[in-house]
Amino acid sequence: MKPKKILVACGGAVATSTVAAECIRQLCARHGISADVQQCRIPELTTNLQGADLIVTTAKVAQDYGVPLVHGIAFISGVNVEATEAKILGFLSPA
């Protein structure tokens, strides 16, 4: 099975997306999900969408990219982490 492509986006693709991306990598590993986690800036989402299964952002995004989107600020704040992980797993787990 090919890895799930997960885009993790923030304003600069450095600080918060790095923390969130590592949390997502660990989450996928714990649940046996093969994942290709890629970081980018929010303005770069449209150019990186091809083949994406999920977008996780650490900033508010109003645009609909046609791909499931999860707000991942919980990985930064530590608040509602379990609920955010459950949403991510819901999108990545086989139906």
What domains sit in the chain, N to C, each tagged with a CATH number? 4-92 (3.40.50.2300)
Tell me the percentage of the chain whose pLDDT exceeds 90: 83
Stated length of the chain = 95
Q: Which of 10, 23, 28, 40 is catalytic?
A: 10
Active site residue 28: no
Q: Is pLDDT at 24 greater than 70 in this prediction?
A: yes
Q: What pLDDT is stored for residue 14 in this prediction?
A: 75
Q: What pLDDT is stored for residue 95 in this prediction?
A: 56
Mean pLDDT across 48-52: 95
| Gap between the Cα atoms of 27 and 21, Å rounded | 10
State the DSSP code for 2. Answer: P
Q: What pLDDT is stored for residue 69 in this prediction?
A: 96
Q: What pLDDT is stored for residue 81 in this prediction?
A: 97
Mean pLDDT across 14-29: 93
